Chains A and B, each alone.
Chain A
């Protein structure tokens, strides 16, 4: 349950960040494209992030205390580093909701959705396994991993919304996404490798077979996404095969969400026994 709550929180907050960031980029770079009509989706994602964020705190508190009551949850929220970051994340999501309600502050929405996504990195395995105990190193690589992953899958969701309304400037939007996504994916792979290496190789003991299996499954899904992205970028885009690109993007998004759910599970497993 805890792994599911984590996974769903990451999925919702990654999609929210990607929609906000790519939506903002579209407005800034391609003003001829009308704004994404993604408000209903954003509200659903915001609600999902709030609910799963609270469930994550409650379940983590129960796991930390090996018991469950309101005092345990209150202590987890007030007296632990994870809980204090949880409060900041919830405040960021509340602020995002406020801006969405008044339909103002697109840049601030990007910042707030980024905060909600990136703060769990401070208490991640990568942060705990940082060299010489400098948690900031692991937190930064993990935070970059989350943000770039969020841009990738949230941007794909934004593109699918544009296809759905048959946007006449679709190829321009695709080209913009493709340019930024290439940088994001490169950073995503680099930080993923660094995280995995520091978590698995930097510790005494034997790597857990279960952890390695889940990590392998996640990498397989990401490899599938990468393959589709490369075909889209270098084969289909030059030929203007929009329908096939859209189909691939939908599959890519599905694989991405699967990878995020597995990442939620990875965070709960002990990497090295």
Chain B
């Protein structure tokens, strides 16, 4: 039993302290055709009341969209995006109550 517990401690993938962005679709600096959704994945479970993201177009205007926060992810559902560069501003709070924020950009091509 002790060996099993030690094995779990040694081989299991650890989570992070603080909810960091671990990936996104579209990825940062990617060039994509109009995405149906934008998905951000974090290193730990998020507090939905204090986590979110917004999409900003090349003119600096916030794009109206629906969004949801669940588990370790934030999903944005924009209406058809016109070609151009977009920036995603995100903020996350994990269960350890620490706030992280950041942004990344991607480009929609015709």
Which of B13, B44, B50 meets A80, CB within 8 Å? B50
Task: Write the chain B residue with the least CB distance to A81.
Answer: B95
Cβ < 8 Å to A, chain B residues 64-110: 91, 93-99
Which B residues are in CB contact (< 8 Å) with A130? 14-15
Which B residues are in CB contact (< 8 Å) with A134? 12
Which B residues are in CB contact (< 8 Å) with A123? 95-97
B9 is an interface residue with CB less than 8 A from chain A? yes
Task: Write the chain B residue with the least CB distance to A80.
Answer: B47
Which of B8, B17, B50, B95 meets A270, CB within 8 Å? B17
Q: State the CA gap A203–B12 with chains docked (Å).
A: 12
Query: Cβ of B47 and Cβ of A129 under 8 Å apart?
Result: no
- Number of interchain pairs (Cβ within 8 Å): 87
Which of B8, B9, B14, B97 meets A203, CB within 8 Å? B14
Which of A65, A125, A137, A194 meets B17, CB within 8 Å? A125
A228 is an interface residue with CB less than 8 A from chain B? no
Query: Cβ of A203 and Cβ of B93 under 8 Å apart?
Result: no
Query: Cβ of B15 and Cβ of A128 under 8 Å apart?
Result: yes
A79 is an interface residue with CB less than 8 A from chain B? yes
Query: Cβ of A132 and Cβ of B13 under 8 Å apart?
Result: yes
Q: Known: A81-B95, A125-B96, A270-B98. Contact between A202 and B50, CB under 8 A? A: no
B1 is an interface residue with CB less than 8 A from chain A? no
Which A residues are in CB contact (< 8 Å) with B97? 60, 63-64, 80, 82, 123
Least CB distance, B91 to chain A, in whole angstroms: 8
Cβ < 8 Å to A, chain B residues 1-35: 8-9, 12-18
B59 is an interface residue with CB less than 8 A from chain A? no
Q: State the CA gap A66–B100 with chains docked (Å).
A: 10
Which of A128, A199, A270 meets B44, CB within 8 Å? A128
Q: State the CA gap A81–B48 with chains docked (Å).
A: 11
Bitwise interface map of A from 54 to 73 toward B, beta carbon under 8 Å scored 1, else 0: 00000010011110000000
Which A residues are in CB contact (< 8 Å) with B94? 128
Which A residues are in CB contact (< 8 Å) with B17? 125, 128-129, 199, 203, 270-272
Residue with the highest number of chain B CB atoms closer than 10 Å, among A128, A129, A132, A272 = A128
Least CB distance, B105 to chain A, in whole angstroms: 22
Task: Write the chain B residue with the least CB distance to A82.
Answer: B97
Which A residues are in CB contact (< 8 Å) with B93? 64, 80
A238 is an interface residue with CB less than 8 A from chain B? no
Which A residues are in CB contact (< 8 Å) with B98? 63, 268, 270
A-B contacts, 18 of them at CB < 8 A, read: A63-B97, A64-B93, A65-B50, A79-B47, A80-B95, A80-B97, A123-B97, A128-B94, A128-B95, A129-B14, A129-B15, A129-B17, A132-B8, A132-B13, A135-B15, A137-B9, A203-B16, A270-B18
Q: Contact residues of B with A, CB < 8 Å?
A: 8-9, 12-18, 44, 47-50, 91, 93-99
